[in-house]
Amino acid sequence: MKLPEQLLHKNRVSFVPYIWVGLVLIILPLFLSPYLLYLAAKILIFAIFAMGLNLILGYTGLVSMGHAAFFGTAVYAVAFLTVHYGIGSFWLVALSGTLGAVFMALLFGLFIVHLSGAYFLLITLGISQLLFSIVWKWRALTGGDDGLPGIPRPDLGLPLPMGNDTYFYYFVFLIFIGSFLILYKLIDSPFGHALVGIRENEPRMKILGYNTWWYKYVSFIIGGGFGGVAGVLYAYLIGIAYPGDIGLMASVMVLFMVILGSPGTLACPLIGASLLITLEYIVSTFTAERWPLILGVAFVLVSMYFRGGIGIYLVRYWRKVKVLHGIPKS
């Protein structure tokens, strides 16, 4: 028997804005040129990538500057399996890629998840760069800085060829929705709440009896898994594995995406990914040379003046809009 307050109490999360966004994403292919559609798919893929980091950073509070290690591992795994070994089955390759990323998280997480803020950050930075240097130097296996090209679009066994950009976009979109729902289920569960507790006050959680190391470790692994899924999709999207996808640059980009989108919120990954990739596209059309400069200035501006990220502003704006239209606050 529910108390009256509980009956009146609406869901903490109103799904309406998410449904709007979802609809926009669904009808996008009708309006976009093939290149913009490729960008849209890239945004969705990086949103999945950022979801993983959002879990580790936004919800658990571990500042990781090495998230691209998992992403890049999956990208190269896909590249090896399809180019070197010619394995055609998408599901086998995708599973191996994701498991590769998860394995990396399992391995490294074991040694580093207990570390405090600054040390954890530096180590993850180092891990990402370590993998980068391995990939860069081992030309025979990875092609070094030439990259490893030749990844074909996946064969899903459906009558819809993935070489068609629109079909591939919808495929990525489906995986994105799936990842989002999984993440939501994780966040809105005792596990997710425990993570937030660890972020806010770890000693207190320990006193309450939580094995905080274990929670941090599991969230690190799951975050790595999301990164792996994103990496698999990205390899198929661009068809080439490149060291830049596994190193510091990629880790910093996804970190910035999470920060832009307000870490610790559900909307964060998509907002951050769309903002950053759109910004990169706009700047590249004018001046590709100065992109790092503009990016650096963006970093400085966001860290100084938009500390919570831009996502919070969008959420507040949405709420304001709803109040103006007479819709009760949720």
Helices 90-112 and 117-137, packing angle to 10 deg: 140
CB of residue 145 to other proteins, shortest distance in Å: 13
Name which of 32 and 302 has its Cβ closer to other proteins. Answer: 302
C-alpha distances (whole Å) from 240 to each of 62, 65, 83, 95, 147 are 31, 23, 10, 18, 7
Contact track, other proteins, 110-149, x by CB under 8 A? -xx-xxxxxx-xxx-xxx-xx--xx--xx-----------
Of the residues 1, 7, 8, 304, which one makes contact with other proteins according to CB under 8 A? 304
C-alpha distances (whole Å) from 327 to each of 47, 128, 316, 319, 320 are 29, 47, 14, 9, 10
Name which of 38 and 136 has its Cβ closer to other proteins. Answer: 136
The verdict on 293 binding other proteins (CB under 8 A) reads yes
Name which of 25 and 68 has its Cβ closer to other proteins. Answer: 68
Cα–Cα dist 38/61, whole Å: 32
Contact track, other proteins, 209-248, x by CB under 8 A? ---------------------------------------x
CB of residue 136 to other proteins, shortest distance in Å: 9
The verdict on 283 binding other proteins (CB under 8 A) reads no
Cα–Cα dist 294/287, whole Å: 10
C-alpha distances (whole Å) from 1 to each of 10, 13, 190, 326 are 17, 23, 23, 31
Query: How many other C-beta atoms lie within 10 A of the C-beta of residue 287?
Result: 10
Asked whether the beta carbons of 72 and 131 are under 8 A apart, the reply is yes
CB of residue 45 to other proteins, shortest distance in Å: 22
Cα–Cα dist 55/220, whole Å: 8
Of the residues 19, 181, 300, 327, which one makes contact with other proteins according to CB under 8 A? 300
Residues of this chain that interact with other proteins (CB under 8 A) are: 57, 63, 65, 111-112, 114-119, 121-123, 125-127, 129-130, 133-134, 137-138, 248, 252, 255-256, 259, 263, 289-290, 292-293, 295-300, 302-304, 307
